[in-house]
Structures are given as structure tokens and as C-alpha cells.
Amino acid sequence: MTADMLYVLWLRQMRRYVRSRSRILGAVGQPILYLLALGYGLGSVFKRAGGGNYIEFLVPGVIVQTILFSSVFWGIQIIWDKQFGFLKETLVAPVSRFTIMLGGVLGGATIAFIQGVLVLVSALVLGFRPDTWALVPVALVVMIVLAVSMACLGTGIASLVNDFQGFQAINNFVVFPMFFLSGALYPLVGIPLLLFAVSAVNPLSYAVDGLRDVLIHQSRFGIGIDLGVLAALTVVLAWFGVFTFSRIEA
């Protein structure tokens, strides 16, 4: 594995990304729509229920949402490459599968991270202010770790299925439930015990919680535990992605 190979695989992702303006707008526009529609729509109810400022509460959630769906989108790119042949070009190259996968994951994660930063910046423009500016770099670390782990997840899912329908099915049954039970859009209090248990083992909960802790000082677990869980998750998902990707046949 050489840095040059990783770079060129990463560069391919970046070139495709900057050339697709609709993708950039779409991926940033949707979370901002959530922020505005839900933020203003449910804000007064949230406040009356004693939850405080809803838009503030929502910002970390929509950042996680953006990173989650952008990273997993890297999996769609793999299926695209499978169906349109480009994957074969990389699979017959005298380069280990691990390098091919890592180059892609780095590209996918970089894009997801950029999208997350764009949403954060948009929120700042809309008036959001973090409680402690000095902690913003920690928020960026949480975002990077989340992006890498979710890009590995996308790789793993895409390696196991051969078409978009299959990917979509797994997306609907794994990624969306993870998102809704992460506390990104509403606080996970007063929910049925079973759902609470699920949310406690849901790794995304820790990403949301971590961001919320460093940005607006609201937390269930604390940033230490959050980062620890996310790091462990990254190791597991990286193994999952490497293992499944190395077994792809074209």
C-alpha cells in the first residue's frame, strides 16, 4: 500500500463530489430543512414542555443525520461501481483489497465530514451559537470518527448486496431505525423501556450525545464515554467493512 494509491482513490471520490453540485445541495439542504421546519414547527411545543430551545437541541442531531446519510451513501457508490463496472477495474489492480477499501472509506468519510461542517456553518449563520467555542474542535473529532465508522458500515452493507433495492432494504431496516432511536430529533425520555434499551445500545446515540455535550452542554453519558463507544464502534465496523469487502466477487 502506498500513500499515492490511497490518494488517487480518495481523489476520485473528491472529484466526483465537487462535480456534483446537486449532491452537495441536496445533502446539506435536507438537514437545514429539518432544522427550519421542525425547529420552528415544534419549537414552541418543545419549550412549553420544558425542553428549552428546540433549534439548539436539534443542531447536533441534524449534523449527525447529515454525516450518517452521507457516509452510508458511500455504500451506494460501491453498488454503483459494481453495476457499472468500475469496481472490477480496482479489484484486478495489483493492490490489496484493504487499500482499495481504505481509499474509498477515506474519500466517503471526507465528503461526509465536509457535509457535516457545512450544516454546522449553516446553523451558525442561522443564529446557532455553541456554549463553549473552545470545545468546537472536540465536536469536529466526534464528527470525523462518526464519518469513518459509518463509511465502513456503508462498505459492509454494499459488499453484501448486489443491487440498490437490497441496499435500500437494509438502509430502511438498519440505518433509519438507528437514526430515529438516537435522540437526534427528540429527547429519549419517557419512551417505553424497550426503546430506551435499544437507544442505549445504539452507537448513534453516543454520537448525538457527544455533539450535544460539547456544543450545548446537554448530555446523558458524557463526552468521555461517547468518544470511547464511538472509537470501539469504528474498530468493529472497520473489521466488518474489510472482511465483507475482501470477499466480494465480481
Residue 162 as a binder of other proteins (CB under 8 A): the answer is: yes
Task: Kindly tell me which residue out of 14, 91, 135, 185 binds other proteins, with binding defined by CB under 8 A.
Answer: 91
Q: Which residue number, 88 or 129, has a Cβ lying nearer to other proteins?
A: 88
Q: Grid coordinates in use for 198?
A: 435499544
Task: Kindly tell me which residue out of 24, 42, 76, 95 binds other proteins, with binding defined by CB under 8 A.
Answer: 95
Q: Where are the alpha helices (H) located in the chain, listed in sequence order?
A: 3-19, 21-48, 54-83, 86-91, 97-125, 136-160, 164-170, 176-180, 193-201, 203-216, 223-246
Task: Kindly tell me which residue out of 45, 49, 93, 126 binds other proteins, with binding defined by CB under 8 A.
Answer: 93
The DSSP code sequence of 73-134 is HHHHHHHHHHHTSHHHHHHTSSS-HHHHHHHHHHHHHHHHHHHHHHHHHHHHHTT---S-GG
Q: Grid coordinates in use for 42?
A: 415544534
Q: Which residue number, 44 or 246, has a Cβ lying nearer to other proteins?
A: 246
Residue 5 as a binder of other proteins (CB under 8 A): the answer is: yes
Residue 88 as a binder of other proteins (CB under 8 A): the answer is: yes
Residue 165 as a binder of other proteins (CB under 8 A): the answer is: no
Residues that bind other proteins (CB under 8 A): 2, 4-5, 7-9, 12, 15-16, 19-20, 84-96, 162, 249-250
